[in-house]
Amino acid sequence: MSNNLDANSMSQSELTETPLNHATQLLNKVFGFAQFRESQQAIIENVLGQKNTLAIMPTGGGKSLCYQIPALVFDGLSVCISPLISLMQDQVRQLVELDIPACMLNSTLSTDEYQANVQAISQGDIKLLFLAPETALQMSVLNLLQAANVNCLAIDEAHCISEWGHEFRPEYRQLGQLIERIPQAVIIALTATATPRVREDIKRQLAIANESEFIASFDRPNLFIEVNLKDNPYGQSKAFIDNHKGQSGIIYCLSRASVDELTAKLQADGYSALPYHAGLQSKKRAEYQDKFVRDDVDIIVATIAFGMGINKPDVRYVIHYDLPKNIEGYYQQIGRAGRDGLDADCLLLFSYGDTGKSRYFIDQMVNEQEKRLASMHLNQMLALAETEDCRRIPLLSYFGEPHVPQSCVKCDNCLNENQEKSDLTVPAQKFLSCVHRTGQRFGAGYVVDVLRGSNAEKVLQNQHNLLSTYNIGNEFSKKQWMTLSRQLIQKGLLQQDEQFGGLKLTAKAGDVLKGSAPFYALLQQQSTAASKSSHSPATIDFNSDLFAILKTQRKHLADQAGVPPYAIFPDKSLQEMAHYLPQSSMSLLKIHGVGQAKFTKYGEQFIKMIADFCVLNSLAEVTNNASGASTSTKTSTIALSAKSKEIASLFDQGYSVLALAQQNKVKHNTVYGHLHKFASLGYKFEHPERLIEAMNLAPELLNKGLTTFAELGTERLKPVFDALNEQVSYEQLHLLRVFYLQGLSA
């Protein structure tokens, strides 16, 4: 058995011609992608089965394909409603590059262009039509669509339909008028943000059954998340940017003034940077955004006003120069990095000074409700900044995701193994006991006042100066106690009342209070400079000289065609070319993102450039027999850290996972993470049989497991765990995945 079993290989589609096979063929041939991402396949199948569908996926999750592929499978027209003209333009540009007949109708077109598009639609020459909701509701457009053969209606940014959403658009609400005219069309609603209430609203209004709601994981495994204490923000940012030379990045600041100031500094230091904020003229804004999209400038320094209207897939980093207001915004902003699935880095600069400022502003708020909400948001951000566990835990649990990865290897904490936590059992007991004695009604600030023997009027009025926990906490500063309290909340020992902020003990607190469980935490956030050094800057597994040559040619072609470079080829395509050095049509077609249209347009010249380069440098083509899942792992841009190498080598020599975890003072999952990284980057164990021994699985299960990885991919363990009916433990699956990635048969 080989691990090259690829559920999506074209040969499979020759077996039976089902709509799904057809879809997969289109994915390969038109888009040049090897396989569907998790949930894309289920969503597309549902739409092809004529069922109205709701697709919830994070930014960069791959929503567009979910309606673009059905649009190609159906024989008539598909309509996509989208709220922003810039996004529509971008989509149309990319589709036209793929030779897919797509167009839009809106006020930016000249009368002639508009008429030409109307005619093409009436003649059935268009597969995908993009419309703003207000255009879709115009009588002439309604009539046009009623007469056309509309198979599918895609509603992008579908949360705009709900009054409960944060971007309610009344015209979205009126789309019923359009739906009445095209009752035969299957509907697919797509969004990246939707609370349960908004989801219910979307489903009710668009007649979507519960079974047709698909929620993809919000985890974006290619984003490296890092938080650094902000002591020298400009220097820290420069160092970070220097590690990403020539790549596209966004720096978010809270105020327009700081955007201008930072841009000027960067420019003076020779960086390619432009500002973006609502205070700039809209013409300037559009110009700067366009320069960024076209790779004419590397860095955009921006307020949160930037990002909504852009779809640039190759943003390689996002820096938060200031603390974002809430997790949702933070996640949306970092989500703009690495949409192409390649590695991207996210750095949050965090200072207690900023937190103090935010607290001050919150205190000034008059509306009690708003004040509580802002304070809750700030606390959630702090939980993310201060946690010493995986950063993905506070992030993903914010989105209600139950299956938080145990160790992601893609955040500073998971990578920074050697942080020594201190035993804080006694201070934790003091704090919990004080919460208890003050009646579980007060917020952290008040509890700390009591612990530190404050003479505040409120404390004296409540006679809390008489409690046994009064004035027993002078060993810590107020700030340290506040940090401890957040960690107690974070670890589920305390619960915070969302409305009033009061703290309550949970059952878990009982164990610590009774002394039957210890409490370990980090009180003093270490400077994360240490974690930076352990996160090696992206070193590259492809020929960077050739990559640079291909990039220059791409930019040249893009400027000629008036499209952004990514519309010609995404970075991943060029990286794969610079890795496999394809010099024949066959091998070029195996490259990610090379479908038939791109091949016809650009294939010959790219093959020639690669061949010339190979002759000049005496290089030979690298066999690319891995179609599908393994292609992506071959071209990962993150180098193997010394730690991963060391752990893998010790494992190879016979150390157990348990022993390695204890030796390195890390969790088992961290060890598995290192082994996984080692294997996924194509490194080989000398003694792979060690993996089999450690797994201790019956041969049938082992084989079944390998086939399941071949079918479902190796990105997540949960689907494989489920598919194997929970017969193989996660520990075993971790090892099995590593074994699978070694490309060995059992």
Residues making contact with Zn ion (CB under 5 A) = 390, 408, 411, 414
Strands, E, within 163-259: which ranges? 186-191, 213-215, 223-229, 248-252
Cβ at position 338, least distance to ligand ADP in Å: 9
* CA dist., res. 41 & res. 722, Å (int): 18
Cβ atoms of 201 and 162 closer than 8 Å: yes
Applying CB under 6 A, the residues found at the interface with ligand ADP are 33, 36-37, 40, 57, 59-65, 311, 313, 339-341, 570
* Cβ distance to ligand ADP smaller for residue 33 or 288: 33
* Cβ distance to ligand ADP smaller for residue 216 or 695: 216
User: Quick count: other Cβ atoms within 10 Å of Cβ 88?
Assistant: 26
Cβ at position 297, least distance to ligand ADP in Å: 20
Cβ at position 59, least distance to ligand ADP in Å: 4
Token representation of residue 604: 């010959």
When CB distances are held under 5 to 8 angstroms depending on the partner's kind, the choice from ligand ADP, Zn ion, none that residue 65 binds is ligand ADP
* Cβ distance to ligand ADP smaller for residue 564 or 673: 564
When CB distances are held under 5 to 8 angstroms depending on the partner's kind, the choice from Zn ion, ligand ADP, none that residue 408 binds is Zn ion
Token representation of residue 685: 């164990």
Identity of the residue numbered 358: S
Q: What is the DSSP letter of 495?
A: E
* Cβ distance to ligand ADP smaller for residue 340 or 417: 340
When CB distances are held under 5 to 8 angstroms depending on the partner's kind, the choice from ligand ADP, Zn ion, none that residue 390 binds is Zn ion
Identity of the residue numbered 640: L
Cβ at position 62, least distance to ligand ADP in Å: 3
Cβ at position 431, least distance to ligand ADP in Å: 43
* Cβ distance to ligand ADP smaller for residue 90 or 412: 90
Cβ-proximal residues to 711 (8 Å cutoff; 6+ apart), any chain: 5, 7, 723
When CB distances are held under 5 to 8 angstroms depending on the partner's kind, the choice from Zn ion, ligand ADP, none that residue 40 binds is ligand ADP
Cβ at position 526, least distance to Zn ion in Å: 16
Q: How far is CA 91 from CA 95, 335, 410, in A?
A: 6, 19, 30
Q: Measuring CA to CA, which residue among 665, 549, 660 is closest to residue 612?
A: 549
Exposure of 516 by Cβ count < 10 A (0-12 exposed, 13-18 middle, 19+ buried)? exposed
Cβ at position 189, least distance to ligand ADP in Å: 13
Residues in the chain: 746
* CA dist., res. 422 & res. 74, Å (int): 61
When CB distances are held under 5 to 8 angstroms depending on the partner's kind, the choice from ligand ADP, Zn ion, none that residue 32 binds is none
Bridge partners, 229 (sequence order): 350
Cβ at position 33, least distance to ligand ADP in Å: 4
Token look-up 């567009």 returns 64
When CB distances are held under 5 to 8 angstroms depending on the partner's kind, the choice from Zn ion, ligand ADP, none that residue 37 binds is ligand ADP
Token look-up 């009033």 returns 500
Cβ-proximal residues to 428 (8 Å cutoff; 6+ apart), any chain: 484, 488, 493, 512, 519, 521
When CB distances are held under 5 to 8 angstroms depending on the partner's kind, the choice from ligand ADP, Zn ion, none that residue 62 binds is ligand ADP
* Cβ distance to Zn ion smaller for residue 145 or 390: 390
When CB distances are held under 5 to 8 angstroms depending on the partner's kind, the choice from ligand ADP, Zn ion, none that residue 606 binds is none
* CA dist., res. 110 & res. 114, Å (int): 6
* Cβ distance to Zn ion smaller for residue 114 or 520: 520
Give the strand pairing for 77-81 and 299-302.
unpaired
* Cβ distance to Zn ion smaller for residue 81 or 414: 414
* Cβ distance to ligand ADP smaller for residue 199 or 277: 199
Exposure of 368 by Cβ count < 10 A (0-12 exposed, 13-18 middle, 19+ buried)? exposed
Cβ at position 392, least distance to Zn ion in Å: 5
* CA dist., res. 9 & res. 28, Å (int): 8
Cβ-proximal residues to 204 (8 Å cutoff; 6+ apart), any chain: none
Cβ at position 394, least distance to Zn ion in Å: 11
* Cβ distance to Zn ion smaller for residue 408 or 513: 408
Q: What angle do CA 63, 69, 72 make, to 5 degrees?
A: 145
Cβ at position 510, least distance to ligand ADP in Å: 44
Cβ atoms of 83 and 134 closer than 8 Å: no
When CB distances are held under 5 to 8 angstroms depending on the partner's kind, the choice from Zn ion, ligand ADP, none that residue 628 binds is none
Cβ at position 94, least distance to ligand ADP in Å: 8
* Cβ distance to ligand ADP smaller for residue 340 or 389: 340
When CB distances are held under 5 to 8 angstroms depending on the partner's kind, the choice from Zn ion, ligand ADP, none that residue 444 binds is none
* CA dist., res. 523 & res. 528, Å (int): 14
* Cβ distance to ligand ADP smaller for residue 328 or 652: 328
Cβ atoms of 355 and 382 closer than 8 Å: yes
Cβ atoms of 206 and 187 closer than 8 Å: yes
Cβ atoms of 51 and 212 closer than 8 Å: yes
Cβ at position 58, least distance to ligand ADP in Å: 7
When CB distances are held under 5 to 8 angstroms depending on the partner's kind, the choice from ligand ADP, Zn ion, none that residue 61 binds is ligand ADP
When CB distances are held under 5 to 8 angstroms depending on the partner's kind, the choice from Zn ion, ligand ADP, none that residue 411 binds is Zn ion
When CB distances are held under 5 to 8 angstroms depending on the partner's kind, the choice from ligand ADP, Zn ion, none that residue 63 binds is ligand ADP
Cβ at position 320, least distance to Zn ion in Å: 17
Q: What is the DSSP letter of 160?
A: G
Instruction: Specify the 3-state DSSP secondary structure of 653.
Output: coil
> With DSSP H G I counted as helix, E B as strand and the rest as coil, what are the percentages for the chain, rounded to 5?
50, 10, 40
Cβ-proximal residues to 113 (8 Å cutoff; 6+ apart), any chain: none
Token representation of residue 343: 């590695």
* Cβ distance to ligand ADP smaller for residue 344 or 538: 344
When CB distances are held under 5 to 8 angstroms depending on the partner's kind, the choice from Zn ion, ligand ADP, none that residue 133 binds is none
Starting at the earlier edge strand, list the strands of the sheet with 102-105: 102-105, 128-131, 77-81, 150-155, 186-191, 53-56, 213-215
Give the strand pairing for 128-131 and 102-105.
parallel
* Cβ distance to ligand ADP smaller for residue 59 or 228: 59
Instruction: Specify the 3-state DSSP secondary structure of 406.
Output: coil
* Cβ distance to Zn ion smaller for residue 60 or 673: 673
When CB distances are held under 5 to 8 angstroms depending on the partner's kind, the choice from Zn ion, ligand ADP, none that residue 732 binds is none
* Cβ distance to ligand ADP smaller for residue 337 or 610: 337
Half-sphere exposure of 452 (CA within 13 A, CB side): 17
Cβ at position 336, least distance to ligand ADP in Å: 9
Cβ at position 649, least distance to Zn ion in Å: 23
